[in-house]
Structure 1
Amino acid sequence: MKRNKQQLNNLGRRTLVYIIAAFGGAFLYVAFCFIRIAVTGEIKGHDLYEYALEKYLVEEVVTGRRGTLYDRDGNALAEQLTSYTLYANLFDGYGDYVEDIDYTAKQLSTVIDLTEEEIVTILSKENVTQVEFGTAGKQLTYLEKEKIDDLGLSGIKFRQNTKRFYPHGVFASHTIGYTKLNDETGSLTGEMGLELYLDEYLAGKDGIIQYIKDKRGYLQPNKEEYVVEQAYDGYDFYLTLDSTIQTFLEEGMDTVYEQANPENLVAVVANPKTGEILAMGSRSSFDPNIRDIESYNNPIVSEPFEPGSTMKIYTYAAAINEGKYSGSQTYQSGSRLVNGSTLRDYNTSWGTITYDQGFYRSSNTAIIDILNNWISPDQFIEYLEAFGFGSTVGVPLPSESSGTLPTDWDLTQKITAGYGQGILTTPIQHIQAITAILNEGKLMKPQLISQVYDPNNEEIIYEVEPEQVGTPISAQTAEQVKQLMIGVVESEDGSGRIAYSLKDFSSGGKTGTAQIADGTNGYLANEYVYSYIGFAPADDPQLVMYVAMKRPETGGHDQLGQIYRFVMQNALIYLGAEKTPVTDISDVYQNTEVPQLMNESVESAVTKIEEQQLEPIVIGDGTQIFVQSPKAQSSVSVGSKVFIQTSKTYSLPNLTGWTKDEVVQFAMLTGLDVEYVGEGYVIDQSIPEGQLLTNPIGIRITLTKDTELLNDKIAEQHKQDNSAIQESNTTEETDEESQE
């Protein structure tokens, strides 16, 4: 028994020794491993430092902000904002998820642009863990995000990203352009206008930072971020555009575009002494926030066209500068035969007039004589090149066109280029060329950028100065041409006197009316581009404006003049009042509002119209109004005609002195089929006043821009009317005497 106990004790001791030895060996092995790890930093060939970094080191991309586009006064025109993309979590393993699809859809439909049914369809997708909501759920503003957050919907989440915002909407849109968001990189890229042209300077540079996180992914306390690559914001650009003048331009263009419905409409306002572009726009236009774009070209720089008689400015300038011009010399207007083609004035009844009058009236034959007798067509083309035609201007906008000059071999085209046919130009070229006329012969480059600011170093890195790019004519020539342009507006027979005179400022300008080419088939009949370039005040021009309109359905220079007068009048007052904006534009133009006349009696309607200082035109012999034009609450100039129709049968009024637009309005109401001859104001009608009309009928209307001829016609009619009244009175007196 004792022996057995001793054997057990020995066995216990041996076991204990083995256990101690095993633990000792394990301890030594672990100690060895720790020592080896401490010395080598590796385990089983893996670098533990790299493993820790991989597990706990976070690397993030820091996005550089895209630069802002400002107007000249620091108002943002294009800026980067934070936006949000909406998505829904459908998988319960990712935390909270959409539990009640119908309720969620009903609530979301009150905020995003999707119906309840469309949202249910999206949330009911199978075999997906997350869903987005298309364009309706992208680029949401913070306020929209906040509204959705307030709904307290389970499973509805957001991703933060960047958004380009254009505060003014439709506002110099082809000039400013727009950006597109790259869904993969989250960066904004310029797609049009300045956004595209300046993209590499506006675009920020992304950076990289690193930091150590804990096991839950949070930044460790008292730990710093490590900048691996510095992020840089894009440059900010201050433009020459003036938001107040641009607003005037947008408003004026909207009105005329709606009334005339032209194929396109362009306008530019600039400072002629510095070349700074203060406003520019076109129609059709678009809102860059939603990109409802019809045309991706900027017609002011990219779409050249035959300009018409505004080119006569430079034909006269060339002749004057060569010392060959005599404004008081007379010539026989009408028509000329050039290389077998008969070229005419738009009015062939002027007879013998001076060359100064030829400019005022916009005579084509005066140009033909100048290019045949005083300077050669080749000399003229050299002057056009010196004024900048046939070359790009160099504004910071993509796809600028140089236009075209006449070919060397085509003599007829060189001559017709003198009055703006057979030559292609852009509006921006006209703005550059006219600066030489208004700036003592100095040709100034148009400028769109005034300053470039680096937000990273908080300093202005570039400041644009006025840039003279040539001196095509002398100061004396420039002054003489300027005086001719003043005559276009202020002389009795000036082609711009009716449509382009300003109320409170003396001014000058030149009209243009160009036929539209029909390929190899010549020119289209009664299809025109109307244009005007004008400046004010006449003695010291502060503003110059070019405006053009192609193929309007109604109107011509009378419609184009509405834009010019509205913009120039308000812009000059705004600038002259030390940048104090006009608070009530209607006061400047003496506008008034058309009253509501539908279903009114004729007597009541006429009274209401006259109380608003408007002219009533009653159509028909009924007692109640069933149609009115313009519509109620329209803003029109004092003295405008308001048409009220009372029956389908009516007596044709005397249309003498009416504008083409007024005839168009009348024809739309009555169904008259009108053939228009000429432009300006009505001087003759093929159906006499007073004829009773029931059914639609054809009528030929003759119009004139010759105010002297128009005034004579009106005076003659007044004389006839007075004679008729006197004859009627005499007849009544004779009847009374015979009765006695």
Structure 2
Amino acid sequence: MRRRNEPQIAPTRPCGMDLGQGGVHGGWTISLDGQRKAALELGRTRLLVAAAVFLLAFFAVGLRLADLALLSEAGEPKRAGTPSAAAALETQRAEILDRNGQVLATTLPTNSLYANPRRVIDPQATAIELAQALPGFSVASLQAMLSQDTSFTWIKRGLTPRETARVNGLGLPGLDFVREERRFYPHGHLTGHLIGYTNIDNVGQIGLEASFDDVLRGSNEPLRSSLDLRLQHILVEELAEAMEEWRGVGAAGIVLDVYSGEILAMASLPLIDPNAPRTIPDAAFLNRATQGVYELGSIFKVFSTAMALDLGVVGLADGFDVTHPIRAGRFRINDFKPKRGVLSIPEILMYSSNIGTVHMTLSAGTEAQQRFLDRLGLLDPVNLELGEVGRPLLPQVWREINTMTISYGHGIAVTPLQAARAMGAMVNGGQLVPTTLLKRTRGERIMAEQVISPETSQKMNWLLRLVVKEGTTGKADAEGYRVGGKTGTADKLDPNGGYAVDKRIASVLSAFPMDNPRYVVMAMVDEPKPTEYSFGYATGGWVAAPVVKAVIERMAPLLGIEPQAEPQAEAVAVAGDTWDPLLIPANLRGRHVAAR
């Protein structure tokens, strides 16, 4: 009960509340209209502020774009050839590797220096300081560049880090850098002709860089070549030593896998430095291994012998009388070291008889010779991933006299690579395998052409080993590796017609190991000079054969090939006979004596 005299408190309504019905507390309801209105006003204000900020930002960006496009002078390179963000992506190039993953070509970031001459305060003073920071530039040339009435000019592209630091330290107005990419070749001269190089804009100029320019540009997938950098080093070193010893004007060499067609090493001397292409003499650009065409001399006797045996016009037991020179019109064909009497087919190749080879080839005929050389790929340019490929020189009209001289390697000029590929077919079972500068994948199908029978190839393996052991190619015999091969010496063609005096090509074309040939090794020296040590000779046997021997002795252990003793006997598919590889059986010996 309420006491008497207690004051009565009437219900009141707090601020922001409305009286309602059916609500709690005896019919009172809480109203939020005031708070909601305040929140909406605050949100609307914030949205307006944010919109104003964004509008100002867009307006500022628009003004800056208009200023750059229409009003301002170029503060950064904008002309053709100047890298933009998009161009920078395009100039990235994939690496080129050797077959074992060694980097042969890569791309590195670099700085390029440019100037805005209109912002250069004192061109002469700037040129003086800049010339001290950039060796190779004269003050006059720099002052001329900095005095131009233009807003942009290149000073130097591809600065070294040291040059960049020196120029940066000058703090000269009107000069600035742009980030670019530069192609770099870690092994320099060693693979110059094969890998090639790019220009200042990273566009391939020669070699694999040019052939695969589209593939390399903008790609991160490395291009893996067939080259083995270890073998390349050996080949270049041995060729350079021979070229110096014999005072040659050039040299070339090849190491080829006869089953896969992969070029494991290939060199052309003089070498070129892809890191400094502007310093390369014009004469050095010639790739003697793939582009130079030469008469290779007696190396062609290998192909003539294989043709005659494969066609069946002669057998190993047959022979020809080599007593008398062959006369054909005004031409007379002699032997370098004449013999009298009959030489058997093995002896003709072993003693490198021109006369015997001509008789043997004439037994097959001119048309047969043309067809056979065509099948060996010696009449057309070789198909290779290089633009620097030479075209063979052939007689315009193929007469009988051409058949005679071509049989021993005169009157036809081919590239060393063509000869090496044809040699591979002689020893690998008779298959002409396409050559490549790219590493083949395991299990890759190779489209090879059967050009001679396996039986003929087996005979050639025996004959080629015999030539090294008993014939003209003895200095190529790397002990324990059973080398087979043939020398070649030929006078060089004179550009004015005929043959040059005292200018020759000395070469050796070899394979090993001859019980199961796997590799062809070729060496050639251009214009070697005779020495007292060689008794006045500068032939393939003296000049190139030692190169082949040294290369094989150094490369074989790297490829896991162990030296082995000479086999006691070697099967040759003729009448079921088994012959000693170091001797000619009595039934295959001719009746001859040395000529006086």
- TM > 0.5 between the two? yes
How far apart are residue 501 of structure 1 and its match? 1.6
> Partners in 2 of 1:105 and 1:522 — Cα distance?
56
Aligned pair partner of 1:488 in 467, 475, 488: 467
Tell me which amino acid in the other structure corresponds to 1:195.
E
Do the aligned partners of 2:343 and 2:356 also contact (CA within 8 Å) in 1? no
After superposition, residues 102-121 of structure 1 pair within 5 angstroms as 104=129, 108=133, 112-114=134-136, 118-119=138-139
> Partners in 2 of 1:411 and 1:377 — Cα distance?
6
Please tell me whether residue 257 in structure 1 is matched to residue 243 in structure 2.
Answer: yes
1:193 matched to which residue of 2?
A: 207
Q: Helix, strand or coil: the match of 2:508?
A: strand
Tell me which amino acid in the other structure corresponds to 1:162.
E
Please tell me whether residue 360 in structure 1 is matched to residue 327 in structure 2.
Answer: no
Do the aligned partners of 1:275 and 1:466 also contact (CA within 8 Å) in 2? no
How far apart are residue 60 of structure 1 and its match? 4.0
Aligned pair partner of 2:102 in 66, 75, 86: 75
Please tell me whether residue 478 in structure 1 is matched to residue 457 in structure 2.
Answer: yes
1:275 matched to which residue of 2?
A: 261
> Partners in 2 of 1:475 and 1:250 — Cα distance?
33
Do the aligned partners of 2:196 and 2:207 also contact (CA within 8 Å) in 1? yes
> Partners in 2 of 1:577 and 1:478 — Cα distance?
22
2:392 matched to which residue of 1?
A: 403
2:280 matched to which residue of 1?
A: 293
CA displacement 1:523-542 (0-9 Å, x = unmatched): 34443211110112222223
Do the aligned partners of 1:302 and 1:401 also contact (CA within 8 Å) in 2? yes
TM-score, normalised via structure 1 length: 0.59
Do the aligned partners of 2:321 and 2:341 also contact (CA within 8 Å) in 1? yes
1:637 matched to which residue of 2?
A: none
Do the aligned partners of 1:403 and 1:426 also contact (CA within 8 Å) in 2? yes
2:310 matched to which residue of 1?
A: 321
> Partners in 2 of 1:176 and 1:338 — Cα distance?
47
After superposition, residues 304-453 of structure 1 pair within 5 angstroms as 304-334=293-323, 335-349=325-339, 351-372=341-362, 374-407=363-396, 409-450=398-439
Instruction: Tell me: CA distance 1:152–1:506, structure 2 relative to 1, closer, same or farther (3 Å).
Output: same
Tell me which amino acid in the other structure corresponds to 2:223.
F
1:244 matched to which residue of 2?
A: 230
1:728 matched to which residue of 2?
A: none
1:63 matched to which residue of 2?
A: 89
CA displacement 1:107-127 (0-9 Å, x = unmatched): 52xxx4237xx3487359557
Do the aligned partners of 2:298 and 2:489 also contact (CA within 8 Å) in 1? yes
Q: Helix, strand or coil: the match of 1:252?
A: helix
Do the aligned partners of 2:476 and 2:547 also contact (CA within 8 Å) in 1? no
Tell me which amino acid in the other structure corresponds to 1:122.
L
How far apart are residue 66 of structure 1 and its match? 1.4
How far apart are residue 352 of structure 1 and its match? 3.8
Do the aligned partners of 2:127 and 2:142 also contact (CA within 8 Å) in 1? no
> Partners in 2 of 1:406 and 1:102 — Cα distance?
61
2:581 matched to which residue of 1?
A: none
Do the aligned partners of 1:389 and 1:405 also contact (CA within 8 Å) in 2? no
How far apart are residue 238 of structure 1 and its match? 0.4
2:157 matched to which residue of 1?
A: 138
After superposition, residues 683-698 of structure 1 pair within 5 angstroms as none
Tell me which amino acid in the other structure corresponds to 1:357.
E
CA displacement 1:277-318 (0-9 Å, x = unmatched): 001111122101111323333232222221211111111111
Please tell me whether residue 569 in structure 1 is matched to residue 553 in structure 2.
Answer: yes
Please tell me whether residue 172 in structure 1 is matched to residue 191 in structure 2.
Answer: yes
> Partners in 2 of 1:90 and 1:52 — Cα distance?
26
Tell me which amino acid in the other structure corresponds to 1:559.
V
> Partners in 2 of 1:532 and 1:427 — Cα distance?
10
Do the aligned partners of 1:431 and 1:446 also contact (CA within 8 Å) in 2? no
Tell me which amino acid in the other structure corresponds to 2:182.
K
> Partners in 1 of 2:179 and 2:398 — Cα distance?
63
Do the aligned partners of 2:111 and 2:158 also contact (CA within 8 Å) in 1? yes
> Partners in 2 of 1:467 and 1:359 — Cα distance?
32
CA displacement 1:333-388 (0-9 Å, x = unmatched): 2421234521111112455432211101111111111123x312211221111111
Tell me which amino acid in the other structure corresponds to 2:292.
E
> Partners in 2 of 1:464 and 1:403 — Cα distance?
33
Do the aligned partners of 2:114 and 2:154 also contact (CA within 8 Å) in 1? yes
Please tell me whether residue 540 in structure 1 is matched to residue 516 in structure 2.
Answer: yes
More strand by share: 1
Aligned-residue sequence identity (percent) comes to 24
What are the ranges of 5 or more consecutive residues in structure 2 without an aligned counterpart? 1-50, 70-83, 531-537, 563-592
CA displacement 1:15-61 (0-9 Å, x = unmatched): xxxxxxxxxxxxxxxxxxxxxxx9xxx9xxxx979946945999942
Do the aligned partners of 1:267 and 1:547 also contact (CA within 8 Å) in 2? yes
Larger RCO, structure (CA 8 Å, separation 6 or more)? 2
CA RMSD, aligned part only? 3.6
> Partners in 1 of 2:367 and 2:263 — Cα distance?
32
Do the aligned partners of 1:393 and 1:432 also contact (CA within 8 Å) in 2? no
How far apart are residue 97 of structure 1 and its match? 9.0
> Partners in 1 of 2:432 and 2:189 — Cα distance?
32
Q: Helix, strand or coil: the match of 2:289?
A: helix
Q: Helix, strand or coil: the match of 2:544?
A: helix
Q: Helix, strand or coil: the match of 1:393?
A: coil
1:505 matched to which residue of 2?
A: 481
How far apart are residue 253 of structure 1 and its match? 1.9
Q: Helix, strand or coil: the match of 1:553?
A: coil
CA displacement 1:466-499 (0-9 Å, x = unmatched): 62331011101001011111111112xx0001x3
> Partners in 2 of 1:123 and 1:520 — Cα distance?
49
Q: Helix, strand or coil: the match of 2:558?
A: helix
Do the aligned partners of 2:487 and 2:545 also contact (CA within 8 Å) in 1? no
What are the ranges of 5 or more consecutive residues in structure 1 without an aligned counterpart? 1-37, 182-186, 205-232, 452-461, 579-707, 710-740
How far apart are residue 243 of structure 1 and its match? 0.4
**Aligned residues between the structures:** 482
CA displacement 1:180-202 (0-9 Å, x = unmatched): 12xxxxx3211111111112222
